[in-house]
Chain A
């Protein structure tokens, strides 16, 4: 861990301004990922801005329908919220399938969206990694890649985004509200929030420097049967090999997003028209253009079969 300076911000706009003012600064909330990365010197911020005191920890009803989830709402609280459990079950289930009770107590909504990949080469600072050190190469290509992405990959990076929550947010069409250092606010559809690696895998989202997430909003409830199915080698405390977030309506129509397959939650709206035709048809569209390694080729049949499990469950 590099020595760093530290301040507590008093308002979201001030936090963003402070971040723009101090080069090499990072926001810290739960710290469940950032602190680990700092200890290993994968993240080396010169300055930390503590955003825990900003009062962004409420879950409010939006008058026109939907929920506004403060950026600092802890994963545990979000998963347990009565409105979330009733109207956005897929989100609650996704949250509870992630990490451990202790981590969920600390981890925040915004922090969850911003967590970094768990690629083991990203974590080993002695190994080349384009995400950690742009231009150094990708060790996972040709290396151990059983957990890695099969969709939207590039020659520079095949890492996945590890979040479960974000996959549910994607299927729910959430929006990410932010404030910029100049005080301007915007609302970004989650589909446009995370990015694919391309040749800049160190860039993981569309936040501008200093831009701070203040909330995530959910549109009015869409009903349906909401399922989050996470597939992993052990029953708890493991990242998804593949996960499926699904909302299936009585008529067989629905939405589906995948975790564990890409650098972002993976959703192909065009594939959803195929859902009434069964998992094979939908998976084919979802996974069109897949690029696998010998280690992770199993994810292709696994997605189809997991989708099959989800659709079977939705049918009851």
Chain B
């Protein structure tokens, strides 16, 4: 199905099943331990052996010698795989560094060997017996020190590396009120609960990989490319995923090494990355340095806005897209953005939940708070005053199907000023302010005390683009009248199973219990996958398309001529005639497959999602410990397909935003070039005690431009702006402005007002 014009009223609009706050259909499997996650798929292949990954202990240089003899001779060991004995390997399109290093080392904990043994303990013990000599080389590990050497990146998401509208320099210099500040965000880890894990088994020259991966089609392609196989020889299965956040968008060492280990050991091999290895072995969200300049009239109209960002990555990597929202979020006639990339020899930088906007909004939304204060304007009012219904600096369409940004962006006319398909930022801010009780906030910093704490309130806008990616599905009607949906879409904890079942139930007129959904298998039609908050809208739109086809076939089979068939209550109805759905499959099941593809309409309008975050913090007046007391998010994201699973996504994102605001920080050892705090004791994320009451409000909105579902992404919108709202609340509580994330007590303590 080609989606080329705004969606008309359709069967989804009935909202009998779609839009209902249904429990997730895979919930009982998960809560009873029956959902098969990659590492526990004991039944899929007999005689599984265990692989243990050895990581490089230098960041850059060469292996000069590697003694694997002791490991090979250790009890239970079946094979030791290294770059030297693995045979020729390629590199996946989505990988920057190779997944099996040696002799060249590209980053700390880059995999350099896999030990395969009868038991995990034997593999681990033998792995520690491998002796490796290195010739370390000097590397660059410090973004601030490399800032001046940063260059214009060749590939990036969201627009060209330089944009300019009007005369920024002139207008900024002439502005009545000016802000020029620099903000930093640290490297961050996905730190999802389930580590990267795979089981691989060969059948002749055919490879089966049971893994944990967000993007099945990419995984199949990159596994094939790395192992120099034809993609048809590779099958990937990933039905359940214990969190990803972008860390599982790409094939990682577990999958490739499991396949190599299975080949060497001649039996199925399972590999999970250990937690201490994950932080340096797998990608992370890169640190940024962001300079923001805003000029405005005394009335609070922005006349000039500039955003420059620096980040680092390995050679041939790509930058964080931190400036992209600044092209679209606020009005202003004179604008500029620049994106620069430094070569750093740290582990690979890559996508993490809302790559670009998540870091960009951390900086921009503090800057807006600071500017509002300079203008003596309420920060909600300042944002409202600078709303725009057209894109003020149009970067052209980003390559939507490519959140990795490996393909150069389309570029495009920089100033065609497209309209947003929907833009309800002002409504989000107003409703949020009302529900949160914003009007009772004390605008004077460091002057509200309650419960023995310094109390502060902060606000930030939320913004994240909505991408559309083609997505396919196959639907099947059987003789019992039951529906089965197959698509390689994944459920990374988001609720994909449930919203897909809701879509099929709505379309086919059956209760949700009559729908089974199978996901995450490369033998199913290729879907959008889970990434860039495009999965929910696009994968259900693909199911919609397949269901439209199935409805047509059912109509034909049952001899209906009319186009106005009604599918309801397990029946097909038209013109007074009513036939049970199952009738259509009496002679055998009916199968339909289709893919939704997004045409020119996706380029005609700018599709974005909007929101507002409100946060109350309490800061201990003695110790400067910061604790969030309440949070509210208001989201305008098109139709909400399931308010329950969507709310879970948003409160999870808000929680992650609190982590980014207050604690998450991959600390770089600038001498040895690695992330020091590489376990969950050292890399702190919020625990339950850190997260207070969270409210989420979804605006009642549909976006006919987004898809036949009229939905948009929401799971990444939920994190964008949260950290700034927290930081702004901390400022309001203490009068101390921290521009270097995370906002920790050591950055406040010397400047706190007197405790007593």
Across the interface, do B625 and A232 meet the contact criterion of CB distance under 8 Å? yes
- Closest B residue to A147 by CB, please name it: B682
Q: Pick the contact of B749: A144, A232, A236, A298 (CB < 8 A).
A: A298
Across the interface, do A305 and B671 meet the contact criterion of CB distance under 8 Å? no
Secondary structure class of chain A's binding surface, majority of residues: loop
B654 CB to closest chain A CB, in angstroms? 16
Known: A142-B671, A146-B746, A298-B749. A305 touches B687 (CB 8 A): no
B676 — which chain A residues lie within 8 A by C-beta? 120-121, 124, 143-144
Known: A123-B679, A305-B622. A235 touches B627 (CB 8 A): yes
**B interface footprint on A212-238 (CB within 8 Å = 1, 0 otherwise):** 000000000000000001011111111
Across the interface, do A306 and B623 meet the contact criterion of CB distance under 8 Å? yes
Secondary structure class of chain B's binding surface, majority of residues: loop
Q: Pick the contact of B690: A118, A139, A229, A235 (CB < 8 A).
A: A235
Q: Does A309 contact B (CB under 8 A)?
A: yes
B749 — which chain A residues lie within 8 A by C-beta? 298, 301-302, 305
Q: Does A40 contact B (CB under 8 A)?
A: yes
Cα A127 to Cα B677 with chains together (Å): 13
Across the interface, do B687 and A237 meet the contact criterion of CB distance under 8 Å? yes
B134 CB to closest chain A CB, in angstroms? 10
Across the interface, do B622 and A309 meet the contact criterion of CB distance under 8 Å? yes
**A interface footprint on B648-688 (CB within 8 Å = 1, 0 otherwise):** 00000000000000110001010110001111011010111
Across the interface, do A231 and B125 meet the contact criterion of CB distance under 8 Å? no
Q: Does A41 contact B (CB under 8 A)?
A: yes
A142 — which chain B residues lie within 8 A by C-beta? 671
A125 CB to closest chain B CB, in angstroms? 8
Q: Does B414 contact A (CB under 8 A)?
A: no
Known: A237-B687, A298-B745, A302-B623. A120 touches B671 (CB 8 A): no
- Closest A residue to B56 by CB, please name it: A126
A220 CB to closest chain B CB, in angstroms? 32
A237 CB to closest chain B CB, in angstroms? 5
Cα A309 to Cα B745 with chains together (Å): 15
Known: A127-B672, A233-B744. A1 touches B686 (CB 8 A): no
Across the interface, do B620 and A309 meet the contact criterion of CB distance under 8 Å? yes
Q: Does A186 contact B (CB under 8 A)?
A: no
Across the interface, do B750 and A233 meet the contact criterion of CB distance under 8 Å? no
Q: Does A312 contact B (CB under 8 A)?
A: yes
Across the interface, do B121 and A233 meet the contact criterion of CB distance under 8 Å? no
Cα A238 to Cα B684 with chains together (Å): 8
Q: Does B276 contact A (CB under 8 A)?
A: yes
Interface residues on B, range: 35 or more
Q: Does A3 contact B (CB under 8 A)?
A: yes
Residues of chain B from 392 to 435 with CB closer than 8 A to chain A in the complex: none
A241 CB to closest chain B CB, in angstroms? 7
Q: Pick the contact of B745: A1, A126, A231, A238 (CB < 8 A).
A: A231
A159 CB to closest chain B CB, in angstroms? 14
Q: Does A85 contact B (CB under 8 A)?
A: no
Q: Does B386 contact A (CB under 8 A)?
A: no
Q: Pick the contact of B623: A124, A235, A236, A309 (CB < 8 A).
A: A309
Cα A118 to Cα B676 with chains together (Å): 12
- Closest B residue to A126 by CB, please name it: B57
- Closest B residue to A140 by CB, please name it: B676
Across the interface, do B755 and A120 meet the contact criterion of CB distance under 8 Å? no
Q: Does B64 contact A (CB under 8 A)?
A: no
B131 CB to closest chain A CB, in angstroms? 13
Across the interface, do B687 and A235 meet the contact criterion of CB distance under 8 Å? yes
Across the interface, do B622 and A233 meet the contact criterion of CB distance under 8 Å? no
Q: Pick the contact of A305: B662, B688, B742, B755 (CB < 8 A).
A: B755
- Closest B residue to A303 by CB, please name it: B623
Cα A127 to Cα B59 with chains together (Å): 12
A232 — which chain B residues lie within 8 A by C-beta? 625
Across the interface, do B690 and A231 meet the contact criterion of CB distance under 8 Å? no
Across the interface, do A1 and B124 meet the contact criterion of CB distance under 8 Å? yes
Cα A14 to Cα B513 with chains together (Å): 64
* Further 13 A-B residue pairs, CB within 8 A, beyond A144-B677, A308-B756: A118-B681, A120-B678, A120-B679, A124-B276, A127-B672, A139-B672, A146-B667, A231-B745, A233-B662, A237-B689, A298-B746, A305-B752, A309-B623
Q: What are 5 A-B interface contacts by the 8 Å CB criterion?
A: A3-B125, A120-B677, A144-B669, A234-B687, A308-B622
A residues contacting B by CB (< 8 A) are: 1-3, 39-41, 118, 120-121, 123-124, 126-127, 139, 142-144, 146, 229, 231-239, 241, 298, 301-302, 305-306, 308-309, 312
B residues contacting A by CB (< 8 A) are: 57, 121, 124-125, 128, 276, 620, 622-625, 627, 662-663, 667, 669, 671-672, 676-679, 681-682, 684, 686-690, 742, 744-746, 749-750, 752, 755-756
